[in-house]
Amino acid sequence: MSIFQRISTVFRANVNDMISQAEDPEKMLNQLIEDMRGQFGKAKQQVAAAMADERRLHQQLTAEQRQAAEWEQKAMRAVMAGRDDLAAQALQRHTEHAEAVTGYQEQWEAQKASVDQLKESLRRLQSKIDEAQRKKNLLIARAKRAEAQKKIAQAMGGISDSGAFDTFDRMAAKVDQIEATAEANTQLQAEMEGTDLEAEIKSLDSPSDDAALLALKQKMGMLPKPAAADTPRLTDDTSSTR
């Protein structure tokens, strides 16, 4: 299997399936892109090697063409010099280089076609890697959104659990009981304070022990009677008129 076939297999992999099985989709996708770029680097090296072979074949072709042309010129000079024997030998060398030209021409054309195909494949591979990069970003965004939705759903599920609300109800009942107890204590304290006030007011209306004892002593003559109040003298109107 060629390197391009292996890379194509990687691109044909079901990325969504990988995400569903991966604990960390972002890490998995980043690794996938990194592997693709590594394969791309290897493919680029192979294309570069093929291009080098193509250039070498072209150089050898050019050299054989030059040699064939030079031996043909030498054969012509030998003929002009009347040395047909040398011309025949030069033509033999020309023929050898011309045959080499034909072979190198075929090899170079085939190599050039292969290089052109490899370069096109490399361009498509680069395009696919760029596409995979964009797809990776979208998939990571989807994965993060799905994870956030999952956590929100779990949180909502925990809040919706009847056990949690039962706890709130128990706490509310306990608070109600505490409030009722506090209100009862306040009311009882107010009632007790009111009773004490009424008792003090009533005590003002009843004579104290000291007042009763004083009254008894006066009745027994043990205490001097209180001084009688001075009575005003009545003026005889008739005498005052005389």
**105 is written with which tokens?**
């021409």
Question: What domain range includes position 78?
Answer: 3-161
Look at the chain and report how many structural domains it folds into.
Answer: 1
Question: Which residues, 6+ apart, have CB-to-CB distance to 215 below 8 Å?
Answer: 207
C-alpha 67/C-alpha 205 separation (Å) is: 153
Within a domain: 92: yes
Model confidence pLDDT, tens digit, residues 88-138: 999 999 999 999 999 999 999 999 999 999 999 999 989 988 988 888 888
Model confidence pLDDT, tens digit, residues 155-205: 776 665 556 667 777 888 888 888 888 888 888 777 766 666 566 666 655
**186 is written with which tokens?**
């306040």
10 Å CB burial of residue 26 (0-12, 13-18, 19+) is middle
DSSP string, 170-194: HHHHHHHHHHHHHHHHHHHHHHHHH
